C-alpha cells in the first residue's frame, strides 16, 4: 500500500488538473465573459468583505475537519499534525478522479501518524460514512424547504429533465443519491451490527461471472469493515455528537463559499430563500461531479457550476465566478499539499528509522 499511496501523492501530478481546469476556464471565459456586465457590478467595499467571508468559510471547513480527525483518533493527533493529515488528504482527493477519491491514501496518511492500520481504516470509513449521512439527510430537507421544482430548474428556468430531453443529469443525480443511500445503509449495518454478513455478501456478489476479478478486493473490503466495526465499538454519544457536528460545520462552510462569491456580482443581494436554493443546488452538483473522470473534477466542475448557478449572477460573469470558486476551494489544496508533502514524508519516515 505504501508504494501505491506514495505514487498517488507525487507533487508532479498537480500538472494535469491545473492544465485541464485552466484550459476549460479560459475557454469558458472567452465564450462567456461580458465586459459590460463586469462594469455594471457595484465594486464597493462589500466586495472585499464577501471575498474574505468566502476565504473564512474555507478556513472553517478545514478547522472542522481537523477537529473531526482529532475526535476520531481520540486526540492521538495534535492540531499541528491534523493540519498535515487534512491538507494531504485533500491533496490526494484533488489529484485523483472524483469517482476514485483519496480514501486509500488517507488510510496510509493516518497510519503513518498513529501506527495502527485497523484504527486508520476505521477512521477513514467512519469519515466517509458521516459525509454520506450528511448528504442523504440534507438532500430531502433542502429539497422540500426550497421546493423541488426550484431546485431542479436550472439554465434560465429549464428543468434538468427539459435540458436533457428526459435523460442525463437528473437521472445521474437520482442514481447517485440512491447508490449513496444504499451504500450508507450497508456501511451502517456492517459497522454497528454484523460486518461478517456484509463480507459474505460481497464475496457472493463478486463470485459472479465478469465480477470475479474483483473478488479479492471485495474480500479485503469486507475485512476492513470487520476491523472498523471492532475499532468503533463502545464509542459513546459524545464521540458521535462531536464528529457529527464537525461534519455538519465542514460541509455547510464548504457550500457557503459559493453563496458569498455570488454576492460579489449580485448587486441586489440574495434573499434567505435564494441562499437555501443555492445550497440545495450544490448538493445536486456534488453528486453529479462524482462521476467526473478528471482529477478533482477539474474542468467538469466549472461547467456544472455555470449550469446550476448561472441564474444567480449577471449573464457574462458566470465563468469568472466559477474560476474564482475553484481558485479559492480547489487549487490551494494542490499547491499547499505539494509544499507540505516533503516535510511530512521526512517526519513520518524519520520515525521509522
Each residue of 170-221: pLDDT tens digit? Answer: 777 788 889 889 989 988 888 888 888 888 888 888 887 777 787 887 788 7
Joined together, the cell numbers standing for residue 3 give 508504494
Q: Note the maximum CA span of the chain.
A: 64
Joined together, the cell numbers standing for residue 195 give 460486518
The predicted pLDDT at position 102 comes to: 67
Structural domain spans, the chain: 2-352
Which range, of 206-210, 229-233, 341-345, 348-352, averages the lowest pLDDT? Answer: 348-352
- Residue 77 burial (10 A CB sphere; 0-12, 13-18, 19+): buried
> Who has greater pLDDT, 341 or 101?
341
What are the angstrom distances between the C-alpha of 221 and each of 68, 111, 124, 190, 228?
23, 17, 13, 11, 10
Question: Is pLDDT of 165 > 50?
Answer: no
Q: Please give the radius of gyration of the chain, using alpha carbons only, rounded to the nearest integer.
A: 21
Determine the Cα–Cα distance for residues 12 and 307; give it in Å rounded to an integer: 31
Question: By the 8 A CB rule, do 15 and 293 touch?
Answer: no
pLDDT in tens, 288-320: 888 777 888 888 888 888 888 888 888 888 888
Write out the H or E segment, with its range, that includes residue 110.
helix 103-114
Question: Is pLDDT of 167 > 60?
Answer: no
The predicted pLDDT at position 77 comes to: 92
Sign of the alpha-carbon dihedral angle for 273, 319, 140, 228: negative
Average pLDDT over residues 84-99: 86
Residue closest to 313 by CA, chosen among 284, 291, 290, 281 = 281
Cell numbers 478486493 correspond to 217
Question: Is pLDDT of 87 > 90?
Answer: yes
Question: By the 8 A CB rule, do 343 and 60 touch?
Answer: no
> Who has greater pLDDT, 160 or 136?
136
Provide CB contacts within 8 A for 249, sequence distance 6+. Answer: 60, 61, 64
Determine the Cα–Cα distance for residues 255 and 32; give it in Å rounded to an integer: 24
pLDDT in tens, 255-280: 999 999 999 887 667 888 889 999 99
Residue closest to 128 by CA, chosen among 139, 140, 120, 117 = 120
Determine the Cα–Cα distance for residues 3 and 265; give it in Å rounded to an integer: 46
Write out the H or E segment, with its range, that includes residue 298.
none
Which range, of 140-144, 164-168, 284-288, averages the lowest pLDDT? Answer: 164-168
Question: By the 8 A CB rule, do 148 and 86 touch?
Answer: no
> Who has greater pLDDT, 300 or 162?
300
| 250 phi and psi angles, rounded to 5 deg | -65, -45
DSSP state letter for 295 = B
Write out the H or E segment, with its range, that includes residue 70.
helix 45-72
Determine the Cα–Cα distance for residues 105 and 1; give it in Å rounded to an integer: 8
- In this prediction the pTM is 0.87
Joined together, the cell numbers standing for residue 234 give 463502545
Q: What is the DSSP string of 27-44?
A: HHHHHH--HHHHHHS--S
Cell numbers 464548504 correspond to 254
Amino acid at each position: 500500500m505504501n508504494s501505491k499511496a506514495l505514487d498517488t501523492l507525487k507533487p508532479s501530478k498537480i500538472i494535469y488538473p491545473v492544465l485541464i481546469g485552466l484550459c476549460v476556464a479560459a475557454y469558458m471565459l472567452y465564450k462567456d465573459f461580458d465586459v459590460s456586465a463586469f462594469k455594471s457590478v457595484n465594486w464597493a467595499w462589500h466586495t472585499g468583505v464577501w471575498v474574505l467571508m468566502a476565504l473564512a468559510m474555507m478556513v472553517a471547513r478545514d478547522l472542522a475537519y481537523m477537529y473531526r480527525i482529532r475526535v476520531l483518533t481520540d486526540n492521538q493527533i495534535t492540531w499541528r499534525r491534523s493540519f498535515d493529515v487534512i491538507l494531504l488528504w485533500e491533496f490526494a482527493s484533488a489529484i485523483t478522479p472524483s469517482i476514485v477519491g483519496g480514501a486509500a491514501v488517507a488510510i496510509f496518511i493516518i497510519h503513518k501518524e498513529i501506527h495502527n492500520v485497523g484504527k486508520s481504516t476505521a477512521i477513514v470509513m467512519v469519515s466517509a460514512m458521516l459525509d454520506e449521512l450528511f448528504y442523504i439527510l440534507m438532500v430531502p430537507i433542502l429539497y422540500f424547504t426550497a421546493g423541488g421544482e426550484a431546485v431542479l430548474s436550472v439554465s434560465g428556468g429549464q428543468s434538468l429533465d427539459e435540458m436533457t430531453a428526459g435523460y442525463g443529469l437528473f437521472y445521474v443525480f437520482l442514481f447517485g443519491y440512491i447508490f449513496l443511500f444504499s451504500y450508507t445503509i450497508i456501511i451502517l449495518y456492517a459497522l454497528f451490527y454484523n460486518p461478517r454478513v456484509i463480507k459474505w455478501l460481497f464475496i457472493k456478489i463478486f463470485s459472479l461471472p465478469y465480477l470475479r476479478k474483483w473478488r479479492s478486493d471485495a474480500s479485503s473490503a469486507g475485512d476492513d469493515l470487520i476491523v472498523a466495526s471492532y475499532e468503533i465499538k463502545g464509542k459513546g454519544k459524545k464521540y458521535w455528537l462531536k464528529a457529527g457536528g464537525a461534519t455538519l460545520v465542514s460541509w455547510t462552510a464548504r457550500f457557503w463559499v459559493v453563496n458569498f462569491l455570488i454576492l460579489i456580482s449580485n448587486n441586489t443581494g440574495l434573499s434567505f430563500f435564494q441562499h437555501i436554493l443555492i445550497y440545495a443546488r450544490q448538493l445536486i452538483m456534488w453528486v453529479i461531479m462524482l462521476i467526473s473522470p478528471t482529477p478533482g473534477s477539474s474542468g467538469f466542475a466549472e461547467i456544472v457550476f455555470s449550469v446550476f448557478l448561472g441564474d444567480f449572477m449577471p449573464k457574462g460573469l458566470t465563468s469568472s465566478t466559477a474560476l474564482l470558486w475553484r481558485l479559492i476551494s480547489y487549487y490551494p489544496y494542490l499547491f499547499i499539499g505539494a509544499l507540505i508533502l516533503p516535510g511530512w514524508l521526512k517526519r513520518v519516515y524519520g520515525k521509522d528509522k
